[in-house]
Amino acid sequence: MAAGCHVTFPVPAPGEYGVMITSRVQARADSFGDTVGYLPSRAAAVTLPSPAGPIQIIGAYVPSRDAGLEMTERKKKWLAACRARSPRASRAQSAPSAPQTQERPPNDG
């Protein structure tokens, strides 16, 4: 705890950027950044308590500089890794799919 705040800061590799989450309430570090795998220090998450149940907060430093081909591919790879591991994607993959229905026009004859 620093200055009354809980701090989550995955230390980036040399020359890389990272993200920091600070909170005034008790925050439990989450492994979201580690599960991203590619550039893990650019994503951090914590879980905060609330009366309605735990809340997951995800912070991200989205790669945005340099429009060169190599850097653009790196950005796409990072974004795809985050998207694949986001809570919404996890729920969508584990949720049963709804049966497909098709509406038919009324039979006039």
Q: How confident is the model over 42-95, as pLDDT tens digits?
A: 889 999 999 999 998 989 888 777 778 888 888 888 888 888 887 665 544 444
Per residue in 11-33, pLDDT tens?
998 988 899 999 998 899 888 88
The 8 Å CB, 24+ separation contacts for 23-32 are 23/48, 23/57, 25/49, 27/57, 30/56, 30/58, 32/56, 32/58, 32/85
Q: Is the pLDDT of residue 34 over 90?
A: no
Closest of 66, 82, 72 to residue 19, by C-alpha: 82
Q: What is the pLDDT of residue 20?
A: 92
Quote the Cα angle for 91-37-60, to 5°. 70
Query: DSSP class of residue 98?
Result: P
Q: What is the mean pLDDT of the chain?
A: 78
Q: What is the pLDDT of residue 71?
A: 83
Q: What is the pLDDT of residue 85?
A: 82
Q: Is the pTM of this model over 0.85?
A: no
22: which residues sit within 8 A by CB, 6+ positions away? 2, 5, 6, 7, 8
Q: Is the pLDDT of residue 5 over 90?
A: no
Instruction: Name the band, by pLDDT with cuts 50, 70 and 90, for residue 107.
Output: low
